[in-house]
Structure 1
């Protein structure tokens, strides 16, 4: 996947920032000469890191940090400025990965690309969005003891049925763990685990309703995803597997190798299949724990 770095600075000096970023192999600079332009780029393009000045024509770098928190809070930010940290409201750093680099240092420009690459590589949550309840969600997922549950055959039958019902190339059931999606059953392809940076389900799980991508090549979020492109994936539909407490722990998904639309009725049916997968998990967990099963859906 390409590494687009959003460079935010005044017009008269943004060129130097762009040159410094692109001097590092694997990084592509995206220009934004203002806070407003930065907001637009964050909403329209796949950005893996932001390098921002502090003094901007229509605000400060902290406004850019705020925009990151609103649109993609796991995207790391490098504050490239000559303003001292003591003069910056550090409360704005909350929930955003921020690295400070003083642009007055003699080797600052030479180090900027390296610093950007480093925060991309070593920030634990960089590259994907996470729901607000991520900690509680992971606890809810861990409570299912999936490795010990006899669900493989049931899920295989379910994915066979889903693929046949929708006449889809691939149907799969995946649980979304901390860093990857663990595919428990897949009809039509060999799939084991997918990093959360690469799986569309990272985005789909944030939607309340079934998410459909009719053509990933026309969607800026996924058109640069080499894994999806190399697999020949074109269309996607995903429905949430949600616990009784409201935590999304997995997805039931359809993949096809051509552009495809899904009607409202088909989306509703896919959600019903996701609820069925969740009920299977609940049933197997209840039997294993030898406790009464409470189904309230």
Structure 2
């Protein structure tokens, strides 16, 4: 049932498909409801604009957010599933967006229970900056980053995954606005250039996110007070960085919240810095490089991926690989002593293979990206019928080699027909493999920290 306090009027079942539930949140221009998709049997979030469109121009403006979100696809962005217009009142159509439902609190609500640890802040930053890098590369500035617009999705073997929501006031680079909470973001998180009404670039999101992350660590708003007091305070002072904050984390947040936009890191630079914190300082020391099989197998065990349950994070990568390359099979494989464990697989039913049946006839391991255009004609595989698994003719695999030199396995794609693969496609496959490896590294770091904390408690 629709919340009676809401100014939005909707039928109890929207367009015969979405049963409207409780209000999840309200903003200045919209209300977000939890709803049930009766066709697909899943929960969704429905964002409804508070005001019905009185003119075609107003409806067109509301459609702008849907078009923008429809072109974005990133794991740290709340996904747009569908959009529509409610014509219950034909003279005043009402735009609504069907969004991914994130089964977790927003950061504002989470901070009411206490601040995050440095490790949790670093993980959150790594997610959100990756999303900013993605949208900034497409010329989009969010302009309203704040704890309420950061949703926390549960994740396995790591802190909650951050997702950015609400692109309602996002613009393309170069726009200008007068400082106003309703048009350019919430006052406590405005960048100095937003306050002064200067042209905005991607640096404005970096500053706002820096304030959000600082608040996540301290549990306090960096610039409290009324709208004007809060907005103009940052023109004369930098936010206070606590003395007990780890030096690496403090250095990045100090850079992100520099008053001069030119002094701030890009999203890509900040992603790299936070990943180093997670894998290095907060994740413990890496083992010394070693090339022996026994050392490699120890790294495989340390990954904790063998004989494990299906995992949505890895499944997204193989699903994406299958779509990008238009192939029926995509696999993330981990190579044990005598078998190849298919941690994530698209288009293949088996969970593991003996090493002599590794896809591509390689036993599952190769030190460089391997492309076999036709397994029947290639001299490396033509004499090995086991390499042609279930009629597959094409194989390409990028190795999963850790920073300390251990080869865990590969991300591979296969096709039922011979085909070639250009340099750009090889680079894309290697990028996807890097995503899988990063997820593995981060999980290993998380386990080390968790074990360290348990050891201290004991």
TM-score normalized by the length of structure 2 = 0.33
Structure number with larger C-alpha Rg: 2
